[in-house]
Structure 1
Amino acid sequence: MRLCLCLVLISASPALANDGFGGLSATGLTFGQTEAVAMEEERLFIGIDRVTVDYVFRNTTGRDVTGEVIFPLPPIGVWAGYEGMMNLPEDLSQPDLVGFTATVDGQPVAVAIDRIAVVQENWESATPAEQYDTPGREVTADLERLGIPLALDWVALRELLLSFPEEKRNEVAALGLAEYYEGDAAQDIPPDVWGAWSIVTRYHWTQTFRAGKELRIGHSYTNRPPGGLFYWSEPPEDYQQALVDQYCIDAATSRAMAKALESPGGDEYGNYGTAFYLSYVLRTANSWAGPIGRFSLTLDKGDPGNVISLCAEGVRKTGPTTFVIEKTDYTPGRDLEVLVVQPMPKE
């Protein structure tokens, strides 16, 4: 049975683009020694502007295990800023895009940040889970050899690629890193280039799990989901059926969304609002040994003017603004996808 909630979430929305803005799906921690370390507990909090996770791990073996704990962001296309507004910091030169922090047994831990470059075919049609499972063909070494920085400033990268001599341009194109366009002088269209690679940012640190011992790890970061201008009709139109299926929008939630977005006064916004598409890749938990012993997900609703829809079972209201999903011996079979609809602000 699929349960669709009509909740609300607190929101700090970025400025609207004409149609939509890109963002990031959220993932969990991964670790190489999956046969030795079990995830006994995961407590996950998700809001539009914040994600917080607390874990309890246990080394189930008789020996210490040391390895890298890794939190990866999904790939960000280097030309994404050209395609439309991104829900990212204005300063893309900084290495930390989400303000990631981590603790081990309650104490802050130093987190290293690195970036790799990948080329992923069929990027636009890939789901968040597919983007995580197969981030693409790594091209970091190719970029470094060609003198192309691991940056997200598409304006500077465009100028750099256009400055390359013909032989180097041909190599860039042959590697699938970019497409060059000759332009049309007669139509006053200058030459141009389109970068095809993406940047994956990874947060990680070396961690020792003591033999037979419990270890508590927590991490928190700014949530930067995609979204944009949103319209909803009741009953849903044919083209909206994909959203109905993806987010389990039942009749009651559909009516709530339409009501939240209606503008009886016929103001300049019409029946529009903002949508946020929150994703969380739960299946990274399957990289640890066995199922999650105890799992809980908390959604904080906040402003009663917003409406949220998702596919879930066993949802329990725990307070005026919180809803909780709890599982025991949980092996996630699908990732979490949440639609949050926010009315236009009223002056």
Structure 2
Amino acid sequence: MVFLSQGIRGLIAAVLLCAGIMPAQANDSMAEIGAGGLVLARSDLIAMEKETLYLSMDEVRVDYVFRNDSDRVIETVVAFPMPDIKVDPYGGDWAIPRYEDNFLGFSVEAGGRRIEPRLQQRAYAAGVDVTAMLEVAGIGLSPLDDFGSPIDTSGLSQAAIADLVARGVVFANRDAATGRYIDPVEPAWTLKTTYWWTMTFPANAEIAVRHRYQPAVGGSAGLFFLTGDPAQPVDSGYVQDYCMDRSFLNAVERRQKTADANSIGYTEARLSYVLTTGANWAGPIGDFRLVVDKGSTKNLVSFCGEGVKKTGPTTFEMRKKDFWPERDMHVLFVVGHSLQ
């Protein structure tokens, strides 16, 4: 979320820098896209007293307790920036949970009451806002209802298509003989989506806020971090992102060796959570609690954290006082599969 007292235009310009897409690694890999939490524009009046962050392959759920330490009621615009979607038919596959505007199934409530946020969508190509250009051309901004389909150019002139191509908004090929653009014409813009609403913070009081969504979990058919290279058997990028230690790798090795005839082996799932962009409130997070749920006792999990404790058959917890987020969260799940 972003708390801003200025207009929506300034809000959107700020929050749309928050999340990006991680590239696909191979044809049998789905790339995760990292969303995050509530991003507070710099405020010396609103403090985050508590945050509980729950991460699993099925749900991201964040519970906050904010406190307005001032003697006046504060009413601000609040926003949740969805991850950017690069609409590129040649750029790989992304693990989008649902093909609709609310592609993460985002919902939010404050003080126990459901909030219906407004939707803001913009299209960008080469860093330029091309929303108006697409609207004039009669092209919808969001292709998610019909993901990957070519654009209907039946109502566009050759000059209009040429202009869209020149500005990097679409891909199109020309007929070698006639020089005319021919179908299919493919989208090439980046879709930026933000949900926003207004919210009141009572004077000298706390307010509880919860939001949840289905994460865009990336995955691979197999374990990509095992390179097969005796000189460097584990991918160094994975080690850095997920803090994979020897005990985790030993557990992976044991699971693979003991897989029985009813098992189809292990695959990996990857979840990213944008944590650092939220550190804009008054002071650190007073009480921060992270819960990671691996979903099944058949699965393994690795992520970076200090003082992590196992709290249940599938859950792990980290707690911090006066916490400043210094890095984003990346969670690697090694998922066991069975034929039964």
TM bucket normalised to smaller: 0.7 to 0.9
Q: Which residue of 2 aligns with 1:14?
A: none
Instruction: Indicate whether 1:34 and 2:43 are aligned.
Output: yes
Letter in 1 for 2:313: P
**Secondary structure in 1 matching 2:338:** coil
* Residue aligning to 1:246: 241
Point out the structure with the larger helix share. Answer: 1
Question: Which residue in 1 is equivalent to 2:170?
Answer: 178
- Aligned counterparts of 1:22 and 1:242: Cα–Cα separation in 2: 15
Which residue number corresponds to residue 111 of structure 2? 105
Secondary structure of the structure 1 residue equivalent to 2:207: strand
Aligned equivalent of 1:75, options 77, 84, 95: 84
TM-score calculated relative to the size of structure 2: 0.79
Listed as ranges, the matches of 1:211-250 within 5 Å are 211-231=203-223, 232=226, 237=232, 240-250=235-245
For residues 145 and 106 of structure 1, do their structure 2 counterparts lie closer, same or farther at Cα, with a shift above 3 Å needed? same
1:327 is matched with which residue: 314, 320, 323?
320
Do structure 1's residue 202 and structure 2's residue 210 form an aligned pair? no
Alignment of 1:1-347 (within 5 A): 19-32=28-41, 34-79=43-88, 83-89=91-97, 92=99, 94-119=100-125, 137-152=128-143, 153-156=146-149, 158-161=150-153, 164-182=156-174, 192-231=184-223, 232=226, 237=232, 240-262=235-257, 273-347=266-340
Q: Which moved more, 1:296-305 or 1:236-245?
A: 236-245
Letter in 1 for 2:115: V
Q: Answer whether contact 1:32 1:67 (CA < 8 A) is retained.
A: no
Alignment check: 8 A CA contact 2:120 2:195 kept? yes
SS of 1:160's partner is coil
- Whole-angstrom distance in 2 between the partners of 1:290 and 1:322: 29
Do the aligned residues in 2 keep the contact of 1:31 with 1:68 (CA within 8 Å)? no
Aligned partner of residue 227 in structure 1, secondary structure: strand
Q: CA RMSD in A?
A: 2.9
Q: Is the 8 A contact 1:184 1:191 kept in 2?
A: no
**1:161 to partner: Cα distance:** 4.6
CA spacing shift, 1:84–1:31, aligned 2, 3 Å:
same
* Per-residue deviation, residues 92-140 of structure 1 (Å, max 9, x unmatched): 2x322222221111122222223222336xxxxxxxxxxxxxxx54332
Q: What secondary structure, in the 3-state scheme, does the structure 2 residue paired with 1:159 have?
A: coil
SS in 2 for 1:256: helix
Structure with bigger RCO (C-alpha 8 Å, 6+ apart): 1
CA–CA distance in structure 2, aligned partners of residues 242 and 161 of structure 1: 42
- In structure 1, the gaps of 5 or more residues are 1-16, 121-135
| Distance in 1 between residues matched to 2:31 and 2:154, nearest whole Å | 26
Which residue does 2:23 correspond to in 1? none
Mapped contact 2:151–2:186 kept (Cα < 8 A): no
Of residues 34-43 and 290-299 in structure 1, the stretch that sits farther from structure 2 once superposed is 34-43
Cα distance change on mapping 1:320 and 1:239 into 2, 3 Å = closer
SS in 2 for 1:342: strand
Deviations 1:203-254 (A, max 9, x none): 2211011222211111112222111212336868457222122212112211
- 1 CA distance for matches of 2:329 and 2:148? 34
Gaps of 5+ in 2: 1-25
Q: What is the aligned partner in structure 2 of residue 13 from structure 1?
A: none
Change (3 A) 1:240 1:183: farther
Separation (CA, whole Å) in 2 of partners of 1:183 and 1:35: 60
Q: Which amino acid aligns with 2:254?
A: K
Aligned 8 A contact 2:311 2:317 in 1:
yes
Partner SS state of residue 287, structure 1: coil
User: 1:125 maps to which residue?
Assistant: none
Distance 1:25 1:262, change over 3 A: farther
Q: Provide the rounded CA distance (Å) in 1 between the counterparts of 2:222 and 2:312.
A: 29
Q: How many angstroms apart in 1 are the aligned matches of 2:231 and 2:216?
A: 27
* Residues 241-285 of structure 1 deviation map (CA, whole Å, 9 limit, x = unaligned): 22122212112211222332447668995xx53211111111132
What amino acid does structure 2 have at the position aligned with 1:165? Answer: S
Aligned length: 306
SS of the residue corresponding to residue 235 of structure 2 reads: helix
